[in-house]
Amino acid sequence: MGNIKHSITLYGFGMKYVQGKCSFEDVLRTAKEMGGDGIEIVAPQMVPGHPNPSDEWIDWFRGRLAAYGLDPVCYSIYIDSGKHKGRFLNEDERFAETINEMEVAKRMGFRYVRSQDALLPSTMEKLLPFVEELGLHLAIELHGPWSPSTPVFREYYELFERLHTDALGIVPDFSAFASGAPEICLNCIPDGCCHKDLLLEINDLYTNTEIPEKELEEKILQKGGDEVDVYVCRQRIFSIPKTAKMGTIYYRTSPDYEGFRRLLKYSKYMHGKFYYCNENLECKGIDYPRFVKIMKEEGYSGYIASEYEGGRFDESISEKEQVARHIRMLEKLWGE
C-alpha cells in the first residue's frame, strides 16, 4: 500500500483573492493552517506578471513558502488558445508557450506542471526532451465532463504506454467521476421559492439511479411539486445538455472506476475536487470511499490537492473548514 500527501490548491481562494478580501500571504498562511504539505498555484490567477514574473517576485515567493514550510508542488497552466483575435494558437505557439511556463515553474521551485487537453498528445510528445531536461513532470488534467474513455484521453494513455516515461502523466480531477449535484446545490435559492426537501430527494435519485430526467420531472409533479420545482431542478440539479456552449460543474455519470485504476500508474498528482464535505466527512455525489480503496490497492503514493469549489453555492460556508474536513476524510478513508 502506498501513501498520500496533501496539497492545497490556491485556486479555492481565488474569488476572495481577486476581490481583495485576502492577500497572497493570507492565502499561504491559511493553506498551512489547513494542514497542507504543499500547494498548487494556478499561474494566470495568482502570479503577477504572468507568464513572465520578475526575479524579485519569484525570490519573494520562494522565501514565503520556506517561511511557512510549504512545498511548491504543482504549477497549473492553461493553453490560452483564444489570445489572438480571429484564430486559435497553432501547434508551434502551444509548444513555445508551454516551454516558457515550464521554465518559470522550475525557477519557482515546482516539479509538477499541469496543463489541459488543448495541449494535444502529439505536442506533448515533442515536449518530452524539454520536460526531461528541466527535471519536471508534465501532466494533463482529466476534468469532467471528459472521462478516461474520451478519445483524446485514450490517445494520452496510448502515448504513455508507448513512451514508458516518468516525465509525462495525468492529473485526474474528481469532477470526471462525479455522479450528481452536491447536497448544497439549492443553498443559494431563497426559502419558499421551491420545495427544497422534494428536490433534494430527486437529487438523491439522480445521483444514485439511472432514472431518466423526464421521469424524475414527472416524479416531482406526482409528489406535489410544481413547474417552478421542475425549472429549478433543470437549472440546479440536472446537467446542462451537451448542446449547450458551456458545461456545468457537476455531471451525471457512471463513474469509470476501472479507467481511474488504469490511469493511476501515470498519476503523481490529482485534484480532490469537492463541493461540500458534511459533518460526517462525506462528499455526497463523489464516491471517495471506492476511489481511495482503488488508490490503496494500486499503491498510490502521490499528492491529492483538496480543491473546494462549493463557494458558488453558498458563500457563507468556510472554505478553511471545508478543506480541513476534506483532509480528515481522506485520512480516515486511507486508514480504513
Q: Where are the domains of the chain?
A: 5-180+246-335, 196-236
116 Rama class: left (phi>0) / alpha (psi -120 to 50) / beta: beta
Task: With CA atoms as reference, report the closest residue to 164 among 266, 244, 242.
Answer: 266
Cell 478513508 found at: 333
- The rounded distance, in Å, linking the Cα atoms of 143 and 309 is 14
- The answer to whether residues 138 and 170 touch, using CB atoms and an 8 Å cutoff, is no
pLDDT of residue 249: 63
Instruction: Give the per-residue pLDDT at 245.
Output: 47
Helix (H, G, I), strand (E, B) or coil at 78: coil
CATH architecture of 5-180+246-335: Alpha-Beta Barrel (3.20)
* pLDDT, mean of each 10-residue run, the chain (336 residues): 79 81 89 86 93 96 94 94 87 95 98 95 97 98 91 96 96 92 93 95 93 96 97 88 55 87 96 95 94 95 92 89 93 94
Taking Cα atoms as reference points, which of 98, 92, 74, 54 lies closest to residue 303?
74
| pLDDT on residue 247 | 47
| H-run or E-run covering 43 | helix 43-46
Give residues with Cβ within 8 angstroms of 64, minimum separation 6: 24, 25, 28
Question: Cα separation of 172 and 277, whole Å?
Answer: 19
